[in-house]
Structure 1
Amino acid sequence: MDEKNFKSGFAVLAGLPNAGKSTLLNNLAGGLLSAVTNKPQTTRQNILAIADGDDYQVVFVDTPGFLTAQYKLQQTMAACVDRAVGEEADLVLFMVDASADYALNAKLVEKLKTVYCPIFLVLNKTDLVKDSAVLDALEARVKQDLPIQQTFRICAATGDGTAALKEAVVAAMPTSPAYFPPGQWTDRWERFYAAEFIREQIFQLYKKEIPYSTYVEIETFTEDLGPKNYIRANIHVERESQKPILIGKGGAAIAELRKRAQKRVEEFLGRKYRLELNVVVSPDWRNSSKMLEKFGYIVRDER
């Protein structure tokens, strides 16, 4: 490694829920590292995806969708965004859904006005906007609010425009040694991703409040045992009434969840697993500092 010419740094993805941050992260990192669903607020914690090259290392940071916190879990999610854009970023990628109302970004824009690093504007879902004049007007409006250095028009779902974005991100990184060993994809353990992909399938299969009321806790995670590889996960819900919904009539719903989640986990980990799911009622866990800290969230006083 030629440290004099090596570039390394943190590129933070910031945007509203469903702006497409997790899809873009997976695209830029070349792997399925962040859970992706069609529901907002899927991501609850900052997730790092590391992209290496011969002369660079970019640590992409997927943050929870920016929102106004209504309970303690969402306070921890908002804190993740604060920490990433305020303390960790060498570059912020401000992701805007080009097909949505830009005015909804107002509070996030105010936060981004306080950052000291460069900001790239990433207009996503441009395939849904047929008139380029609409995109031109949107770009001009954002530039009135923020000191945008470069703008990229992409479709994260198809990868259109993302190669040029990645090239520009690499160029914007400071000269620095790598932060992580070559070939490391992420800073998270495999059991974290097992939980994330189980939760991803909960978001895919269930409606209304169920996905948002669940937390997946990996109780047992064994590996290197060949066909005996085993994961036991507890799915925490907030109310007794949610438990039968998650299980379904005759256990049909949770059986389908187990099948899909096991397939997803095996695809990611590259080995076979037997997955067991158990439903636990943990009353109002999203507002319990004790439970949130047990689950690994950083709890701080309400702002």
Structure 2
Amino acid sequence: MTTQTENFHSGFAVLAGLPNAGKSTLLNALAGGLLSPVTDKPQTTRQNILAIIEGPAYQVVFVDTPGFLHPRYKLQQTMAACVDRAVGEDADVVLLLLDAAAPDLSAYQELFAKLAKVFCPVYLVLTKTDLVKDKSVLPALEAEVKKALPRVEKTFCVSAPRGSGVEELKAAVAAAMPLSPAYFPPGQWTDRWERFYAAEFIREQIFKLYQKEIPYSTQVEIEKFTEDLGPKNFIRAIIHVERETQKPILIGKGGAAIAKLRQHAQQRIEQFLGRPYRLELQVVVSPNWRNDAKLLEKFGYIDKE
């Protein structure tokens, strides 16, 4: 692959939208794999996740951001900062994702105001279009968004799970990238270490298997990660909860719930990493960790000074 500035295009495409707009599902479809955790609950993504897509003369770094929200505690403040930084500083193109099956433009007004100030192109991506029975409503929805945000230059209708519209979107984004050498070496597909994804996929399964406040009150920390040992590959993870009452819920009667979690998470990790692992989980109580600056720094949500 050539990376000469005169004929190579490279840059960042930031996915922005409300929680559950389909950002992580679209990122996975663009990347051609299960890179970003996906659940049916909002606020699954807590940090920016990168998927690096490359072609003969381009490299696009797609950035999956946390869902846009109004922060209620320090963790959500760090999530909001991820969105602001990606949209305001990193983006060469912003992809504004809107759930076409359940649009709520009133909830987008603050995000529209932020995107009105960016200096890069904004593309509207109407997601979950397979769930829209009457496709004639889509042009009207597009017009309504453009009225609120005239910065929108192009519109794409996609169904990420079905792959509909994904290649067209990818091609348009690649064509919009500026002349630049590649930001990452050829063949690299993300900027995160494997242990980061191991923690993310454990947390993904917590979101899928538990209800109410449990998923939002947990944080996964990888304590030990050994690899290249064949059947002896091993991961030990600590699951932090905020209150003592949450610990027995996570563990379940006779350890049944956490055993199921371990099984599902181990399968997900092995699927992603392509090799066998033995996963061990431990639950500890870290009171009010979502508002504890030291713990948020330890978990990587706040940069160390």
Deviations 1:177-230 (A, max 9, x none): 100000001000000000000000000100000000000000000011111110
Normalising to structure 1: TM-score of the pair?
0.97
- 1:110 matched residue in structure 2: 113
Asked whether 1:288 is paired with 2:289, we answer no
1:7-86 mapped onto 2 (5 Å cutoff): 7-86=9-88
Q: Is the 8 A contact 1:76 1:299 kept in 2?
A: no
Residue 188 (structure 2) pairs with residue 196 (structure 1): no
Tell me, in whole angstroms, the C-alpha distance in 2 between the residues paired with 1:210 and 1:111. Answer: 32
Alpha-carbon separation, structure 1, partners of 2:134 and 2:219: 41
For the 8 Å contact 1:232–1:276, the answer to whether it is kept is yes
Q: How does 1:165-204 map to 2 (within 5 A)?
A: 165-204=169-208
Give me the whole-angstrom Cα distance separating, in 2, the residues matched to 1:128 and 1:255. Answer: 35
What is the match of residue 142 of structure 1? 145
CA distance 1:243–1:2, shift in 2 (3 Å): closer
- Pick the aligned partner of 2:252 from 241, 248, 251: 248
Q: Counterparts of 1:17 and 1:278 in 2: how far apart (Å)?
A: 29
How much has 1:102 moved relative to structure 2? 2.1
The alignment partner of 1:132 has SS state of coil
Looking at structure 1, the residues matched to 227 and 176 of structure 2 have their Cα atoms a distance apart, in angstroms, of 39
Deviation at 1:158, TM superposition (A): 1.3
Asked whether the 8 Å contact 1:289–1:299 carries over to 2, the reply is no
Superposition deviation, residue 173 in structure 1: 0.4
Query: Structure 2 CA distance, aligned partners of 1:11 and 1:238?
Result: 35
Normalization by structure 2: what TM-score?
Answer: 0.97
- 1:262 paired with 2:266, answer yes
Match of 2:212 among 188, 193, 208: 208
Contact 2:3–2:182 (CA under 8 A) maintained in structure 1: no
How far, CA to CA, are the matches of 2:19 and 2:51 in structure 1?
A: 19
- Aligned partners of 2:31 and 2:231: how far apart in 1? 30
Query: Which residue type is aligned with residue 283 of structure 1?
Result: P
Unaligned runs of 5+ in 1: none
2:34 maps to amino acid: L
Alpha-carbon separation, structure 2, partners of 1:264 and 1:189: 16
CA distance in 1, matches of 2:266, 2:77: 31
1:207 match: secondary structure: coil
User: What's the offset of the Cα at 1:130?
Assistant: 2.1
Q: What CA distance in whole angstroms lies between the structure 1 residues aligned with 2:183 and 2:279? A: 34
Q: Percent identity?
A: 74
Structure 2: where are the runs of 5+ without partners? Answer: none
What is the aligned partner in structure 2 of residue 94 from structure 1?
A: 96
Equivalent position SS for 1:268: helix
How far does residue 108 in structure 1 lie from its aligned partner after superposition? 1.0
Q: Deviations over 1:215-260 (max 9, x none)?
A: 0000000011111110000000000000000000000000000000
8 Å Cα contact 2:94/2:120 also seen in 1: yes
Following TM superposition, by how much is the alpha carbon of 1:104 offset from its aligned partner in structure 2, in angstroms?
A: 1.5
Query: Bigger shift: 29-38 or 86-95?
Result: 29-38
RMSD over aligned CA atoms reads 1.1
**Which residue of the partner structure matches residue 119 of structure 1?**
122
Alpha-carbon separation, structure 1, partners of 2:21 and 2:200? 19
Match of 1:133 in 2: 136
SS in 1 for 2:201: helix
**Distance in structure 2 (CA, Å) of the matches to 1:51 and 1:140:** 30
How far off is 1:132 after superposition? 2.8
Paired residues of 1:292 and 1:299 also in contact (CA < 8 A): no
**CA shift for structure 1 position 2:** 5.5
SS in 2 for 1:121: strand
d(CA) in 2 for partners of 1:141, 1:285: 41
Partner Cα distance (2:91, 2:302) in 1? 19
